[in-house]
Amino acid sequence: MGGLSWPLLVLGGGKIVDKLVEMKNIHKYYGRLKALKGIDFSVGDNEIVGVLGDNGAGKSTLIKIITGLHAFREGEMYIKGEKINPRHYSVKKAHQLGIETVYQEQALAEKQALWRNIFLGRQKTNALGFIKVKEEKEETEKVMRELMGFTGIGANPDSNIKTLSGGEKQGVAIGRAMYFDADLVILDEPTMALSLQEVDKVLNFIESIKTRGKSCVYISHNISNVYPVSDRFVAMDRGKVVGRYNKDEISLDQLNEELISVTKVK
């Protein structure tokens, strides 16, 4: 799918549908620090977008605005065609809109059981809000076996997160995002703590997002991981988008050189 054919996509039946995510001139401050300085960014239907850039470029900040964690100041954001009011947008709302995220920080609570970490915020409860513990644990067992590829040694749904290895923790964070079957999966440095073999699993997962017709934003410092699975690339530097590339227009080596030249101190 051509990444630059925005703003509108025409889907089957002639129905005109806006892009999955569309951001225009987004600004974000942390106190006085200006982290995003007028970003245009979009994610189309069934598109994998690789986001690249140095430490502190604003990649995580950008995706945290999409996930509802941070409110933006200026600019406009549309998700599935719906105009987002930053004051009423939230992580919960993003979940409802089908956005799942694997945060760079993993977003796991160390002293809590694995099964609780999977369902936090989306608990299976009765009408009074009491958790259906057995059901959540059984589902977790399934998630672990089928989605995370845990082979049954060591970890189980009752394990505390602090007893897991770095790779296992990442597996939980990714498994959680897979379980809730999103229209948009955002992965922020998902392969940091992983062995080569585990990295392959993550890349396979991203490819499966594509085959299932869903979309993905994939942030990584490792261009050789991002390149093969992405449809297009967005390069960021110091709060700005400094380059946009379609995969069919650029080779891995060219992309590498581009990134070095666009992020050079001017």
Partner 1 sequence: MDSKLLNSKTWEKYKTQIALISIAIFVLLLFIITSPAVFLSPQIYRSFLSTVPFVGVMALGLTLILAMGQIDLSFPAVMALSGFVFALTYQLSGSVFLGMLACLLTGSFVGMLNGLLVTKIGIPAIVVTIGMQFFIRGLSNVLSQGSALNMNVGDNIFYRLFAGDLFGIPAQAIWFVFLSILLWAILFRHKFGEHVLFTGDNEDATRMMGINVDKTKIIAFMIMGGAAAFAGILDVFRMRTWWPTMGEGYLMMTVATVFVGGTSMFGGEATILGTFIGAFLIGSLEAGIVAAGLSGFWTRLIYGLLILVAVTIHTVMNR
Ligand X SMILES: Nc1ncnc2c1ncn2[C@@H]1O[C@H](COP(=O)(O)OP(=O)(O)OP(=O)(O)O)[C@@H](O)[C@H]1O
Which residues bind to ligand X, rule: CB under 6 A?
30, 33, 35, 53, 55-61, 104
Is residue 104 at the binding interface for Mg ion, with CB under 5 A as the rule? yes
Could you tell me the two tokens for 163?
């007893």
Could you tell me the two tokens for 65?
């605005």
Q: How many CA atoms lie within 13 A of 224 on its CB side?
A: 4
Give the strand order in the sheet containing 184-188: 99-102, 184-188, 215-219, 48-53, 232-237, 240-246
Q: How far is the CB of 265 from partner 1 (least distance, A)?
A: 32
Element (H, E) at 17: strand 16-18
- Binding track, positions 46-65, relative to Mg ion; x by CB under 5 A: --------------x-----
Helix (H, G, I), strand (E, B) or coil at 219: strand
- Per-residue DSSP letters for 20-86? SEEEEEEEEEETTEEEEEEEEEEE-TT-EEEEEE-TTSSHHHHHHHHTTSS--SSSEEEETTEEP-T
User: Are the C-beta atoms of residues 183 and 215 closer than 8 Å to each other?
Assistant: yes
Q: How far is the CB of 239 from ligand X (least distance, A)?
A: 7
Is residue 91 at the binding interface for partner 1, with CB under 8 A as the rule? yes
Which residue of the chain is nearest Mg ion when measured via CB?
60
Is residue 142 at the binding interface for partner 1, with CB under 8 A as the rule? no
Is residue 4 at the binding interface for partner 1, with CB under 8 A as the rule? no
Applying CB under 8 A, which of residues 8, 10, 11, 120 lies at the interface with partner 1?
Answer: 120
Applying CB under 8 A, which of residues 1, 17, 71, 131 lies at the interface with partner 1?
Answer: 131
d(CA 51, CA 227): 10
Is residue 60 at the binding interface for partner 1, with CB under 8 A as the rule? no
Q: How far is the CB of 115 from Mg ion (least distance, A)?
A: 28
Partner touching 256 among Mg ion, partner 1, ligand X, none, CB below 5 to 8 Å by kind: none
Q: How far is the CB of 10 from ligand X (least distance, A)?
A: 33
User: At 259, which amino acid appears?
Assistant: L
The residues of the shown chain that bind partner 1, judged by CB under 8 A, are 67-69, 90-92, 94-95, 101, 103, 105-112, 116, 120-123, 125, 128-131, 133
The residues of the shown chain that bind Mg ion, judged by CB under 5 A, are 60, 104
